[in-house]
Amino acid sequence: MGRKLLLKDINVPGIKSFEVYRKMGGYASVEKALKTMTPDSVMEEVKKSGLRGRGGAGFPTGMKWSFLDRKSDKPRYLICNADESEPGTFKDRFLMEYLPHALIEGMIVSSFALGANTSYIYMRGEFRWIFPILEKAIEEARAAGFLGNNMLGTDYSLELYVHSGGGAYICGEETAQIESLEGKRGNPRNKPPFPAVVGLYGCPTVVNNVESIATVPHILNMGGDEYAKIGIGKSTGTKLISASGHINKPGVYEIELGLPVEEFIYSDEYCGGIWKGRKMKACVPGGSSVPILPTELMLKTAKGEPRLMSYESLSDGGFATGSMLGSGGFIVFDETACIVRNTWTYARFYHHESCGQCSPCREGTGWMEKVLHRIETGHGKMSDIDLLVDVAKKIEGNTICPLGDAAAWPVAAAVRHFREEFEYHVRYPEKVKDPKHFEKEPFVSEKKAVAA
Amino acid sequence: MTDRIQLGTMEQPQFSPAAMALVQKIIKRYPEGRHKSALLPILHIAQAEFGGWLSPSTMDYVASILNIKPIEVYEVASFYTMYNMRPVGKCVLEVCRTGPCALRGSDDIIEYLENKLGIKEGETTADGMFTLKAVECLASCGSAPMMQVGNHYIENLSVEKMDEVLDQLKTRHNVPNPDYGSPYPVSPENNG
Ligand SMILES: Cc1cc2nc3c(=O)[nH]c(=O)nc-3n(C[C@H](O)[C@H](O)[C@H](O)COP(=O)(O)O)c2cc1C
Ligand code: SF4
Ligand code: FES
Q: pLDDT tens digit string along A168-187? A: 999 999 999 999 999 999 99
Please state, in angstroms and rounded to a whole number, the distance separating the CA atoms of residues A207 and A199: 9
Q: Which residues, including other chains, have CB under 8 Å from residue A326's CB and lie 6 or more apart?
A: A56, A58, A86, A285, A286, A287, A289, A290
Would you place residue A447 in the very low, low, confident or very high pLDDT band (cuts 50, 70, 90)?
A: confident
Rg, Å, chain A Cα set: 23
CA torsion, ordered A199, A200, A206, A208, to nearest 10 deg: -120
Please state, in angstroms and rounded to a whole number, the distance separating the CA atoms of residues B71 and B60: 9
Query: Domain B17-85+183-190 carries which CATH code?
Result: 1.10.10.1590
Q: Is residue A164 domain-shared with residue A222, that is, in the same domain?
A: yes
> Can you give the pLDDT at residue B12?
84
Q: Is residue A420 domain-shared with residue A355, that is, in the same domain?
A: yes
* Cβ-defined contact of A183 to B98 (cutoff 8 Å): no
Asked whether residue B63 carries a pLDDT value surpassing 80, the answer given is yes
What amino acid is encoded at A371 in this protein? V
Q: How far is CA B161 from the centre of its chain?
A: 24
Asked whether residue B190 carries a pLDDT value surpassing 50, the answer given is no
Asked whether residue A383 carries a pLDDT value surpassing 70, the answer given is yes
Residue B181, chain A, CB below 8 Å: the answer is yes
Q: Is residue A65 domain-shared with residue A192, that is, in the same domain?
A: yes
Q: Which of A213, A229, A245 is the last residue of a domain?
A: A229
Q: pLDDT tens digit string along A236-252? A: 999 999 999 999 999 99
> Can you give the pLDDT at residue A445?
83
Please state, in angstroms and rounded to a whole number, the distance separating the CA atoms of residues A437 and A428: 11
Q: Is residue A317 domain-shared with residue A429, that is, in the same domain?
A: no
Mean pLDDT in residue range A32-39:
98
Would you place residue A441 in the very low, low, confident or very high pLDDT band (cuts 50, 70, 90)?
A: confident
- Tell me, what DSSP letter sits at residue B190? G
- C-alpha distance from A113 to closest chain B C-alpha (Å): 21
Pairing of strands A235-236, A231-232: antiparallel
Q: Is residue A220 domain-shared with residue A306, that is, in the same domain?
A: no
Residue A160, chain B, CB below 8 Å: the answer is no
Mean confidence (pLDDT) of chain B: 93
Q: Is residue A37 domain-shared with residue A104, that is, in the same domain?
A: yes
Q: What are phi and psi of A70, to 5 degrees?
A: -95, -5
Strand partners of residue A331: A244, A284
- C-alpha distance from B178 to closest chain A C-alpha (Å): 16
Q: Is residue A350 domain-shared with residue A304, that is, in the same domain?
A: no
Residue A272, chain B, CB below 8 Å: the answer is no
- C-alpha distance from B115 to closest chain A C-alpha (Å): 17
User: Distance from the CA of B8 to the center of ligand 1, in angstroms?
Assistant: 41
Asked whether residue B191 carries a pLDDT value surpassing 80, the answer given is no
Q: Which of A316, A334, A352 is the last residue of a domain?
A: A334
First CA to last CA distance, chain B: 40
Residue A180, chain B, CB below 8 Å: the answer is yes
Q: Which residues, including other chains, have CB under 8 Å from residue A30's CB and lie 6 or more apart?
A: A105, A108, A109, A112, A146, A151, A152, A217
Q: Is the CB of B101 under 6 A from ligand 3?
A: yes
Q: Which atom of ligand 2 is nearest to the CA of A395?
A: 1
Q: Is residue A102 domain-shared with residue A209, that is, in the same domain?
A: yes
- C-alpha distance from B26 to closest chain A C-alpha (Å): 9
Mean pLDDT in residue range A394-401:
95
Domain range for residue A66? 18-229
Would you place residue B1 in the very low, low, confident or very high pLDDT band (cuts 50, 70, 90)?
A: very low
How many domains does chain A divide into?
Answer: 3
Q: Is residue A142 domain-shared with residue A207, that is, in the same domain?
A: yes
Return residue ranges of chain B for CATH 1.10.10.1590.
17-85+183-190
Asked whether residue B192 carries a pLDDT value surpassing 70, the answer given is no
Q: Is residue A159 domain-shared with residue A203, that is, in the same domain?
A: yes
Residue B13, chain A, CB below 8 Å: the answer is no
> Can you give the pLDDT at residue A450?
59
**Is position A7 within any domain?**
no
* Residues A121 and A82: beta-carbon distance below 8 Å: yes
Pairing of strands A293-294, B91-96: unpaired
Asked whether residue A272 carries a pLDDT value surpassing 70, the answer given is yes
> Can you give the pLDDT at residue B2?
42
Asked whether residue A210 carries a pLDDT value surpassing 80, the answer given is yes
Please state, in angstroms and rounded to a whole number, the distance separating the CA atoms of residues B68 and B49: 21
Query: B134-170: b or e for each residue (b if 16 or more CB lie within 10 Å)?
Result: bbbbbbbbbbbbbbbbbbebbeebeeeebeebbeebe
Q: Is residue A209 domain-shared with residue A266, that is, in the same domain?
A: no
> Can you give the pLDDT at residue A323?
97
Asked whether residue A448 carries a pLDDT value surpassing 70, the answer given is no
Asked whether residue A159 carries a pLDDT value surpassing 90, the answer given is yes
* Cβ-defined contact of B38 to A329 (cutoff 8 Å): no
Q: Is the CB of B95 under 6 A from ligand 3?
A: no
Pocket test for ligand 1, best of A209, A213, A216 (most atoms within 8 A of CB): A209
Q: Is the CB of B140 under 6 A from ligand 3?
A: yes
> Can you give the pLDDT at residue A2?
81
A365, with CB counted inside 10 A (0-12, 13-18, 19+), is: buried
Please state, in angstroms and rounded to a whole number, the distance separating the CA atoms of residues A64 and B99: 32
Residue B79: which of A185, A246, A331 has the nearest Cβ?
Answer: A185
**Is position A310 within any domain?**
yes
Mean pLDDT in residue range B1-28:
78
**Is position A240 within any domain?**
yes
* Cβ-defined contact of A245 to B138 (cutoff 8 Å): no
Q: What is the largest CA-CA distance in chain B?
A: 53
Please state, in angstroms and rounded to a whole number, the distance separating the CA atoms of residues A218 and A347: 38
**Of the given ranges (A115-119, A197-201, B4-8), which has the lowest mean pLDDT?**
B4-8
* Residues A185 and B79: beta-carbon distance below 8 Å: yes
Q: Which residues, including other chains, have CB under 8 Å from residue A229's CB and lie 6 or more apart?
A: A236
Q: Which atom of ligand 1 is nearest to the CA of A403?
A: 1
* Cβ-defined contact of A352 to B136 (cutoff 8 Å): yes
Strand partners of residue A232: A235
> Can you give the pLDDT at residue B3?
45
Pairing of strands A238-245, A251-256: antiparallel
> Can you give the pLDDT at residue B20?
97
Asked whether residue B107 carries a pLDDT value surpassing 70, the answer given is yes
Asked whether residue A282 carries a pLDDT value surpassing 90, the answer given is yes
Q: Which residues, including other chains, have CB under 8 Å from residue A71's CB and lie 6 or more apart?
A: none
For B137, nearest residue in chain A (alpha carbons) = A87
Q: What is the largest CA-CA distance in chain A?
A: 75
CA torsion, ordered A145, A147, A148, A150, to nearest 10 deg: 60
pLDDT over 70, % of chain A: 99
**Is position A8 within any domain?**
no
Asked whether residue B189 carries a pLDDT value surpassing 50, the answer given is no
Q: pLDDT tens digit string along A327-373? A: 999 999 999 999 999 999 999 999 999 999 999 999 999 999 999 99
Chain B stretch 25-64, residues whose beta carbon is closer than 8 A to a beta carbon of chain A: 29, 31, 34, 36-41, 43-44
CATH code for the domain of A129: 3.40.50.11540
**Is position A288 within any domain?**
yes
What amino acid is encoded at B149 in this protein? V
Mean confidence (pLDDT) of chain A: 96
Chain A residues whose CB is inside 8 A of the B152 CB are 129
Asked whether residue B188 carries a pLDDT value surpassing 70, the answer given is no
What amino acid is encoded at B185 in this protein? P
Q: Which fold has domain B91-173?
A: Glutaredoxin (3.40.30)
What amino acid is encoded at B184 in this protein? Y
Please state, in angstroms and rounded to a whole number, the distance separating the CA atoms of residues A329 and A324: 10
3-state SS of B115-168? HHHCCCCCCECCCCCEEEEEECCCCCHHHCCCEEECCEEECCCCHHHHHHHHHH
* Cβ-defined contact of A93 to B139 (cutoff 8 Å): yes
CATH code for the domain of A249: 3.10.20.600
**Is position A241 within any domain?**
yes
Strand partners of residue B149: B152
Ligand 1 binding site (Cβ under 6 Å of any ligand atom): A 53-57, 59, 61, 64, 81, 83-86, 170, 172-174, 207-209, 212, 401-403, 406
C-alpha angle with apex B120: B114 to B124, nearest 5 degrees?
95
User: Distance from the CA of A407 to the center of ligand 2, in angstroms?
Assistant: 10
Is the pTM higher than 0.90? The answer reads yes
Q: Is residue A261 domain-shared with residue A221, that is, in the same domain?
A: no
Q: Which of A334, A349, A372 is the last residue of a domain?
A: A334
Pairing of strands B152-154, A77-82: unpaired
Closest CA to A330 of A443, A211, A234, A239: A239
Chain B residues whose CB is inside 8 A of the A138 CB are none
C-alpha angle with apex A113: A175 to A225, nearest 5 degrees?
110
